[in-house]
Amino acid sequence: MKTVHLTDENATMALGAWLAPFLHGGDVILLKGDLGAGKTTWARGLICALLGDVEVPSPTYTLVQTYDAPNFEVWHFDLYRLKQENDVWELGIEEALEDGVCLIEWPERIDGLLNGTELTIMLNIDETGRTANVVGNADWEARLGDA
């Protein structure tokens, strides 16, 4: 769908900000990549685009952070430390999926609960920065168009 070379942290945040105007309540964004690939930085860019210059800590230890955007709540999950797939329900994901926007780092931990309608941002480290692959189904392709 879209591949972008990201030279630095600002470019990663800009890619997150790029997606913000396209989001609706109920959207799920999967953030994939190795440790240090820029998943939280990408999420920070999106959240700051929605809310302005706010602090966006990594949810590595809390597992989830929430933010009140104008039209929906943003739920930022980091599932790296999740022990079992079903533990995600204790984090409030059911409520988040109803009408919030979910940003999910390490979604591989809950593969069995995903339905294929999510947008995936795959971040890879290369010798000159990062590469981001943005992949979604036909609905996402229609929504994002050539943006």
DSSP string, 17-76: HHHGGG--TT-EEEEE-STTSSHHHHHHHHHHHHHSS------TTTSEEEEE-SSSEEEE
Please provide the size of the chain in residues: 147
Mean pLDDT, the chain, rounded, equals 92
pLDDT (0 to 100) of residue 135: 94
Report how far residue 104's alpha carbon sits from residue 75's, in angstroms, rounded to the nearest whole number: 8
CATH code of the domain in which 45 resides:
3.40.50.300
Indicate the pTM of the whole model. Answer: 0.93
Average pLDDT over residues 57-61: 81
Tell whether the model's pLDDT for residue 1 goes beyond 80: no
Q: Which of 42-46, 78-82, 102-106 has the lowest mean pLDDT?
A: 78-82
Tell whether the model's pLDDT for residue 57 goes beyond 90: no
Which residue would you say has higher pLDDT here, 22 or 112? 22
pLDDT in tens, 106-142: 999 998 888 889 999 999 999 899 999 999 998 999 9
How many domains does one find in the chain?
A: 1
Which residue range(s) make up the domain with 136?
A: 2-144
pLDDT (0 to 100) of residue 147: 73
pLDDT (0 to 100) of residue 80: 93
